[in-house]
Structure 1
Amino acid sequence: MDDKGVDNIKKKYQTKINSELKQEHNILEPITSNDYNSFKKEYLPKHLSFYEKACNFSEKIFNIKADKPKIPQYQEAIDICHLNISPTGAASFPIAVFMFFLLLGLFMGVIIPYLFGGDISYFMIVMALLAGVILMMPLGNLPFFFADNWRMKASNQMVLCIFYIVTYMRHTSNFELGIDFAAEHLSPPLSIDLKKIVWNIESGKYHSIKESMDDYLESWRKWNLEFIESVHLIESSLYESSEDRRINALDKSLSVMLEETYEKMLHYAQNLQSPLTTLNMLGIMLPILGLVILPLVVSFMPEVKWYHLFTLYNIIIPSAVYYLGKTILSKRPTGYGNTDISETNKD
């Protein structure tokens, strides 16, 4: 008799015994490949899905290879965000956007004036080329931006994640079930990461939950050491001989996470004054001073048109303020754990 037949007989008699003895078991349902892919498709942000399609389309047309030193960095960022793209696609996307702006500039500056009998608009051509060139670098770094954003959101949920695991394992000393419990009660993106940890075991990539978790923790070694330490304390509770020592190890893991997060928040608040002053000057004071100076500019420089002012006030300054604000927020410590109810209760 083959192994499959033996497994079927074992399941049959195990079900029969459980029904006769009326035992209740907390069984972890296997996460198949289709389940994980469906879960990721449902909860992956829509802009990431659009970015995947754009990168794959750009790769088919241009197929620009990324620099060899950046390929591992691209791959790490892609793995963090669970994106279905390659480093080649990520490197080809900025080229595709540049070509789009080049064609757009020629269309707006040459073809449209020609059709309506006007002069060639060199301003539109130059602005389109500048926009394409300026966007090439940030678009090339989009995987790193998405990875940082994903990492930030996941880090904000880690205190709650440790709390869920500790809460479950206080009465049931099973690490795999604790992770599954946290994955079911957390919202994305950390829930996707936890589902992936369990899915790696079901798919045969790793043989135990410890191996799968250790591989995941390596991606956080540079960013969140307290989370790694807390998880290791939870794992150590499985090997404690007495119940009191096991509970103490679980409680200590939660205390370590809370104390380290609180200390990071204090340092961030102390260093926040100078960046906020710069942001205030650029986003509030500079536009107000510009309104005072604009009448003089128009008087002494009549060639300044309305679209020049439109570009300055509606594109350049807001983009600079947004970039500076995102830079300040990227240094924010993690752990506040906000939850968007609309994401967890879509009905």
Structure 2
Amino acid sequence: MARRSEDRVPKAYAEAYSSLIAEEKKPVFEEDNWYYRIARKLGKAESPMPFKDLKLKQAIDFLGWDLSAEQVSNTTTLFFAASFIPCVFIALLLIFFSGLPYYALMYVLPMLLLGPIALTYYVQRYPIFHADSIKMRSVLEVPEIVNYMVISMKLSPNLERAIDFASEHGRGKIASELKELSWNLKMGIYSSAEEALDKLAYKWGQYSDEFKHALMLIRSSVIEVDEAKRHAILDKAIYDVLEGIKDDMDKYAMKMRQPSIYLYYVGVLLPLMLIIMLPIGSIMANLPFAQLWVLVLIYNILVPLGAFVFARQILSRRPPVYEAPHIPDDHPELPKKAHIKIGNTNIPVILLAVFAMLATAYLFIYVFEPFLNPNPAITRPWDKEAIASYIPFFTMAGYVMSAVIFVSVYLYGSTYPKKKLQDKIMRMEADFQDSIYILASRLGENRPIEEAVEYTANFLTDSPLSRTYRITAENIKNLGMTIEAAFFDPAYGSLRHVPSKIIKNTVRVVIDSLSLGVQQGARVLLSLSIQLRDAKKVKEKVRAVLEEITAMMRSIAYLIAPLVLGITSALQKVIVGALLSLGGSEFIGAGPSAGIPVGFINPQALASMPDAMTFLIIITIYVLEITVLLLYFITKINEGDNPLALKMSIAKTVPIAMTLFFFAAWFASTMAA
């Protein structure tokens, strides 16, 4: 756009335009992107090299990145080299120093190439993935943008003013493009607002046909002289967009169902089945999969990493229907950072975490171990076989559980005050939809704004929002503030400690509309109430569709997977013991004619298998990883990008899952013995 402006307007204006677009109008999520920062340093932006992938070129143009094909190619090459060279180094170490047989290297070395290949593909296609993600987020911002334009058009049928109003109060890429359109109109690059909207409509039409149709309706409403018919056209624009978005949400949610089931099969169910089969089968087939480093590589690195990458890919398709309020650390209702308030005392969370850790370690090591798993060297010193096979199960479990409890208590203690405040703000947002309807009804009766605000505060006595409205009314009455200062004054404003974008943005829209009169403000409030109601319906619809998946995942995370893996870890000891006892026989079977030669069991492979304690540690780490991964996936599905909800979920669920795992393993080993 900057090059086009230089051809059609004087140079000074073009420079001013370019500077403004670069410094103010370009969205933060584009300039601060890691890929864009790296690619800008690799090659020339004016390189003559053409783009071979048209889809990649379209994605880069959509993002507004000033990148050449050379820079994109160099970025891909850089990441391939950065990942391939370490793999070559590891391969050389394995070949010359590991002592692995040739057949084992044939399995291991190709696996090392999977990492560089996957990373290279991801980096090469990243602009497309990123553009698709922004398109999806932007499409979900369409109702808000259209509603702001409709509000402005109902107040004053002027397209330029509607563009300015929507760009000022909207968010995301569409809002930034509206700002650019507004500037281009002022610079004379477009002859009219109609021309500018036509360009925007056809650009976004391939991603949201409803948005294109809504812009055309808004554009056509200008030529309608009858006010009632004009309002009907504008209302239809909003209705069509909302219906289209609801259909899109259904499609997005349904697209996530099947991949989520695949994540369960590949990330949880298949490893559960293979945890015993893989070592036993590798012993029979003389393969290296029973060795310690292979089991660690598969179960503690590759499976969790692959499941995490797959989960991230699924979550990238999740519609961002709601953004949870961000709670700052310095909020006056919070205790000191990393402290929890008990009574009137702020206690450091780290002290509670250390106390809980020591108590857990004492319980497992000095209570459970001697009573539930006594050392046979003390209780049965004559039983040499029992002494040889004894493992200090609860001592190992005590170390793990004490670490888990430490992290969980620290996460819970440092997160709980912020999560409690966040829940309060979210309740305020839920009540806000009703409150603005009440406020609109009072303003519609031509009541003064302070009286309408005070009435709303008295009506919502059970809501935390009541105090906000009451402070607003007092600021207007007692301090003589304007309505804007009553809400937003940095020292006394009622919203100064309410970190909600929804509430603040809506109030700013209302304040702008009140400058045109109380009746106009009442109309805007009614429109915003409908918008918030529809946004809530979309959020509930997506959650309802995905509830079945998340319910299944939740039960797996803290119940099924820990129990099954605990039992499996105990069975491994029994099966390996049976194989070791059979390893000394010449044949396995009922008789010489029906037997299976012992050659099927490789004594060296049996010897290389990890012992029961080591195998238990491997499974313990896997249970921790897969539980956290499933909680991450469930929380992201239900809550979106809400780190407080994720921390609370981990703090509450992981200790339960690990406790079930250890007691299932102990119970199964006791029964097997």
TMscore range, shorter length: 0.7 to 0.9
Aligned residue for 1:284? Answer: 268
The answer to whether the aligner puts 1:94 opposite 2:76 as a matched pair is yes
Provide the C-alpha distance between the structure 2 equivalents of 1:154 and 1:257, rounded to a whole number of angstroms. 13
CA contact (8 A) 1:165 1:182 kept: yes
Aligned residue for 1:220? Answer: 204
Aligned residue for 2:59? Answer: 77
The answer to whether the aligner puts 1:135 opposite 2:116 as a matched pair is no
Q: 1:152 to 1:271 in 2, by over 3 A?
A: closer
Task: After superposition, give the CA deviation of every residue in 1:44-80 in whole Å (9 maximum; x if it has no partner).
Answer: 25762x21132233336xx894553x2x433321122
CA contact (8 A) 2:266 2:307 kept: yes
Aligned residue for 2:606? Answer: none
Q: 1:179 to 1:67 in 2, by over 3 A?
A: closer
Q: 1:65 to 1:309 in 2, by over 3 A?
A: farther
CA contact (8 A) 2:205 2:212 kept: yes
Which of 296, 312, 333 is equivalent to 2:298?
Answer: 312
Aligned residue identity for 1:86: S
Aligned residue identity for 2:205: R
TM-score by length of 2: 0.40
Provide the C-alpha distance between the structure 1 equivalents of 2:88 and 2:24, rounded to a whole number of angstroms. 43
Aligned residue for 2:23? Answer: 38
How far is 1:118 from its partner? 5.3
TM-score by length of 1: 0.72
Bigger Rg, which one: 2
> Structure 1 stretch 171-180 or stretch 99-108: which is displaced more?
99-108
> Structure 1 stretch 119-128 or stretch 179-188: which is displaced more?
119-128
Q: Name the SS of the counterpart of 1:157 in structure 2.
A: helix
Q: Name the SS of the counterpart of 1:338 in structure 2.
A: coil
> Structure 1 stretch 292-301 or stretch 218-227: which is displaced more?
292-301
CA contact (8 A) 2:201 2:216 kept: no
Which of 43, 51, 55 is equivalent to 1:59?
Answer: 43
Task: After superposition, give the CA deviation of every residue in 1:204-236 in whole Å (9 maximum; x if it has no partner).
Answer: 543333323322322322221011101111111
Aligned residue identity for 2:126: L
Unaligned runs of 5+ in 2: 1-15, 328-498, 502-673
Q: Name the SS of the counterpart of 1:83 in structure 2.
A: coil
Q: Name the SS of the counterpart of 2:121 in structure 1.
A: helix
Q: 1:249 to 1:279 in 2, by over 3 A?
A: same
Provide the C-alpha distance between the structure 1 equivalents of 2:183 and 2:294, rounded to a whole number of angstroms. 54
Provide the C-alpha distance between the structure 2 equivalents of 1:345 and 1:85, rounded to a whole number of angstroms. 36
The answer to whether the aligner puts 1:232 opposite 2:216 as a matched pair is yes
CA contact (8 A) 1:65 1:87 kept: yes
Which of 99, 104, 120 is equivalent to 2:86?
Answer: 104
CA contact (8 A) 1:108 1:124 kept: no
Aligned residue identity for 2:179: K
Over the aligned positions, Cα root-mean-square deviation in angstroms equals 3.8
Aligned residue identity for 1:43: V
Aligned residue for 2:595? Answer: none
Q: 1:120 to 1:190 in 2, by over 3 A?
A: farther
Aligned residue for 1:182? Answer: 166
CA contact (8 A) 1:33 1:199 kept: no
Unaligned runs of 5+ in 1: 1-30
Provide the C-alpha distance between the structure 2 equivalents of 1:200 and 1:306, rounded to a whole number of angstroms. 65
CA contact (8 A) 2:25 2:180 kept: no
Q: Name the SS of the counterpart of 1:44 in structure 2.
A: helix
How far is 1:83 from its partner? 1.7
Q: 1:185 to 1:201 in 2, by over 3 A?
A: same
Aligned residue identity for 1:312: I
Provide the C-alpha distance between the structure 2 equivalents of 1:131 and 1:314, rounded to a whole number of angstroms. 16
